[in-house]
Amino acid sequence: MNYETLIPLIRKLAIEAGEKIMEIYDGDDFEVKAKSDDSPVTAADEAADALISAGLRAELPDVMLVTEEQADSHAAKGDTFLIVDPLDGTKEFINRRGDFTVNIAYVENGVPTRGVVYAPAKKRMFYTHPSGQSVEEIGSFDPETPGELREIHVSKPDNGALMVVASKSHRDQATDDYIGKYDVKDMKSAGSSLKFCLVATGEADLYPRVGRTMEWDTAAGHAVLAGAGGKVVRFDNHKPLTYGKEDFANPFFIAYAPGVELKDA
């Protein structure tokens, strides 16, 4: 894969998908449908998916593509592929809370190595530079011309005063019980893959996820966090979270800045 070609492409597609999403978000009421697993889907999910998929297939036709909104892609097999969640945080979108993202990632040999996370309502965008270093772009988000880029790095955590981020829509007692094992200075809630990005920028030290996620939910955020010096490990054994699993379902996991003294499940 030529990263010098890949990164401008996925950045551009994420911004263009974000524009489509915001047209619907800022408009009148939109229809909410239920998928086969009862999770919600909107016209914004579908429009963003169509745009991103067409763009990726046109430029990278030989690379395996997995996308949340196309069930036939979930039968694909391999450990090197593009993976897309065109609108992560659909519940945040439906409730007009703003914490939703466009996610595009490239996985190599089971590891997310490059990715983009764009939060159009929050006007924040994070991605891995071709070099592998993660950046936050600040500016007008022109699809053709990048704005100012700021390198991002994880924190140097204080285990006596940790900053924790947890899910806004999926917070439960099991999550609270695990967080209770740490000395926590402050806690934030965030939706979608933004939680990975808050750890990547040093705004949080630790993000535990004790709940169901799919690889398309996490791959782009995982790549951004890794490019900022962070790690994502399985909750049960603290081994690295890998991709290309049989059904693209993740086990519980912990995303963190190295230096956090991880507690057992």
Strands 162-167 and 184-190: parallel
Instruction: Return the CA Rg of the chain.
Output: 17
Which residues share a beta bridge with 251? none
The enclosing H or E element of 250 equals strand 249-250
Q: Any known ligand binding at 85?
A: yes
**236 is known to lie in a ligand binding site:** no
Backbone phi and psi for residue 170, each to the nearest 5 degrees, phi listed first: -125, 25
87 among annotated binding-site residues:
yes
Helices (H), the chain: 3-25, 43-59, 90-94, 173-179, 194-200, 215-227
Alpha-carbon gap, residue 25 to 30, rounded angstroms: 8
Residue 90 marked ligand-binding? yes
DSSP per-residue letters across 76-95: ---SSEEEEEEEE-HHHHHT
Q: 45 labelled as ligand-binding?
A: no
Task: Tell me: is residue 206 an annotated ligand-binding position.
Answer: no
Q: Is 261 annotated as belonging to a binding site? A: no
Which residue ranges make up the annotated binding site for substrate?
A: 68, 87-90, 217
Q: Which residues are annotated as a binding site?
A: 68, 85, 87-90, 217
Extract the annotated binding site for Mg(2+): 68, 85, 87-88, 217
